[in-house]
Amino acid sequence: MPRTAREVVFVDGVRTPFGKSGKGLYAETRADDLVVRVIRELMRRNPGLPPERVDEVAIAATTQIGDQGLTLGRTAALLAGLPRSVPGYSIDRMCAGALTAVTTSGAGISFGAYDVVIAGGVEHMGRHPMGEGVDPNPRIISEKLVDPSALVMGNTAENLHDRYPSITKERADAYAVRSQEKVAKAYADGKIQDDLVEMLVRSAEKGFGLATEDEPPRPGTTMETLAALKTPFRAHGNVTPGNAAGLNDGATGALMMAEDVAEELGLDAKMRMVDFSFAGVEPEVMGVGPVPATEKLFARRGISIDDIGLIEINEAFAVQVLAFLEHFGVADDDARVNPWGGAIALGHPLASSGVRLMMQLARQFAERPDVRYGITTMCVGLGMGGTILWENTNYEGGK
């Protein structure tokens, strides 16, 4: 009984506004309620999709504890009102959790096991700081399997500055300023708002409210303000709160399906998944992970960075983005890279961020029928990188 691989498409994506951890938007909101809101909005926006046609719900979280635990994909599906026949599961690949939820369930679609899936991620870093409750095996350090700095992401970014001495603090700060400026312009131009679903929030002090936009952006950021920030991970270092993503809360979700099923249901396929790749690197320089992941994918497909018209790369740290660009010979201010800004401004709620990259790429594809291929790529804690190659379904060029 031979199987034929099917085309896998991204139909829609939704996210909550991202909040600042601690006393931010979602200080008194449960993580699973963020996911539930996203699932319900995906279904509301796609009335042509019968709920019983959803075959799987894959939700990622880095710290799978408390209200981010208990097989979150299944519990969120039940809480969102999907039929009890719809299964779900949780997944963890740290920052690339949602990205992995998409590749794993997307592979299931291609194989023929699924027709429709919801894949996404959540992170409530205010309630659950990264690493809460974990018990790393002491042999990881005692047997020198990794450098101790690998367990602190800010230290890995400083290590990356060491490996790429041409990436100075000033260069990282300049990249961060551009990210803030691009996000401010994207908001002013109405580019980001359509991806957001408003979220009811509660505060014992302020009462109920509505989260309608991202909390982390700092418009008006300048080189002068960034230069004055301290370097918490190393004395006289390069990494600051200004050229790195913050600690954030938020959830994302994507509606993925077989292309023929999208046509059957009358739903718009915004982009087509072509291929994906993951790779491992030394954990102490985890930020370089997107380089071998992307190289691996390019080699398999026989393409180069010149074939890529749009690049959505997660901005965990400016140095990590710049290392990727430097490796591939791409200018720091290349217009293909994060046209609407990135995580340095918008925030990086760990396991949720991969789908945010996809949502922004899909909307950019819709505006750019001249672009055929784009990538979403990100570094991953403990020394990994992940890249997905996407094809624009709106492409109007030749073969």
Q: Which is it for strands 271-280 and 56-60: parallel, antiparallel or unpaired?
A: unpaired
Task: Give me the sign of the Cα torsion angle 191, 194, 195, 200.
Answer: positive
348 is catalytic: yes
Burial (CB count within 10 angstroms: exposed 0-12, middle 13-18, buried 19+), residue 253: buried
Report, in this order, helix, strand and coil percent for the chain, each rounded to 5. 40, 20, 40
Catalytic residue (choose from 124, 128, 161, 379) = 379
Catalytic residue (choose from 95, 124, 128, 161) = 95
95 is catalytic: yes
379 is catalytic: yes
Q: In 3D, which of 333, 390, 325, 381 has the Cα closest to residue 363?
A: 390
Across the strands, what pairs with 253? 14, 120
Q: Among the residues of 81-222, which ranges form H helices?
A: 97-111, 139-142, 153-163, 169-188
Structure tokens that stand for 323 in this block = 């290392």
Catalytic residue (choose from 124, 128, 161, 348) = 348
Q: Rounded CA gap, 345 and 179, in Å?
A: 6
Residues identified as active-site:
95, 348, 379
